[in-house]
Amino acid sequence: MAVARTVVVKAVNAGLWSLQRSRSRSLQQAQTVRALSTIMSPPSKAVVYEHHGPPDSVTRVIELSPVEVKENQVCVKMLAAPINPSDINRIEGVYPVRPQVPAVGGYEGVGEVYSVGSAVKGLSAGDLVIPSPPSSGTWQTYVVKDQDMWHKISKDSPIEYAATVTVNPLTALRMLEDFVTLNSGDSIVQNGATSIVGQCVIQLARFRGIHSINIIRDRAGSEEVKERLKAFGADEVFPESQLEVKNVKGLLSNIPEPALGFNCVGGNAASLVLKFLRQGGTMVTYGGMSKKPITVSTSSFIFKDLSLRGFWLQKWLSADKAKECRDMVDYLLCLAQEGKLKYEMELVPFDNFHTALDKALGKLGSQPKQVIKF
């Protein structure tokens, strides 16, 4: 009887051991299947900075290891990304909103879907996408972000315009629509007219039948600059020195006094915008390239009742405007695709990033917008 019990116990133990082996083997197989099904991005080449400071000193190009593409994420092969003044300010550490360091540079751009996570719907390999709203980290060859961070655009979109459509053209569109009701025949005045925002303001205003008065810096070749802006649709273009007169409005022919002005320079250039504005006019400031303060005379407030406002695209985007933003991006890209919205850019190979950065920093004189091509 004891022998029989011993045999039964041994059989039970053998069965348990066999079951444990089977479960262990199944677990290993499951882990292997999961490992094989894990999607990884390719290694990425990126512009990084580990601390804030002068961009030409603190940035370097390095190789980043592959990262996992989780079930709701999309891996995008970047095609192009611009160097904007706000990108430079983020690296310098002076922009109000910036990523924690170490960080990858860049804020907008365009890319092609490389791979998608298992739960992603509506996007597939080969789709053309932009980060919308924009987000940090576009100066690298591969970017992995959640699906809802990407906006699918038409494959017919010109790559350089898709890369730059959000920050500058959208700023121009919103400023024309958000502050003063403008009708066909009205006018606006702006400094910084050669910037991409300035070029877009000229063209978007012209589409609406709105005249534009444009102020540019005194520089060599200013006549050539004036002709380029007039080709975009500018009605009047004045170097700053031409406006050092008491009555600037006497320089206008059949253009009405502007109700709305845009300032991205500050200092004397802002004062020139104010001189043009009509009674009750509004000046919107969206930049301060000269790093000089805006000085307003007491009479401008008392006798002209002028208003000073500010516009920051990032604040507008953060106000639950994702759908509206994407609709406007599609509209602007459609204009670009039809050749109705143009601005000056220079496409630069990624290998020449630091040359492009020097140009963006103004170290090589006045240059068009620098757009990195990956």
Q: 286, 270 in Cβ contact below 8 A?
A: no
CB 107 within 8 Å of CB 135: yes
Phi, psi of 206 (to 5 degrees): -60, -40
182 by DSSP, 3-state: which? coil
**What's the CA gap between 20 and 83, in Å, rounded?**
59
Describe the crossing of helices 222-232 and 196-207 by its angle, rounded to 10 degrees: 40
Cα-based angle 220, 161, 173 (whole degrees, multiple of 5): 80
Question: Which residue among 49, 95, 107, 114 is the active-site one?
Answer: 95
Active site residue 114: no
Looking at residue 154, its amino acid is: S
Structure tokens at 96: 């109000």
Residue in 163, 210, 204, 154 with CA at minimum distance from that of residue 186: 210
- The string of DSSP letters for 48-101 reads EESS-S-HHHHEEEEEE---EE-TTEEEEEEEEEE--HHHHHHHHT-SSS-PPS
Cα–Cα dist 156/335, whole Å: 12
Catalytic residues: 95
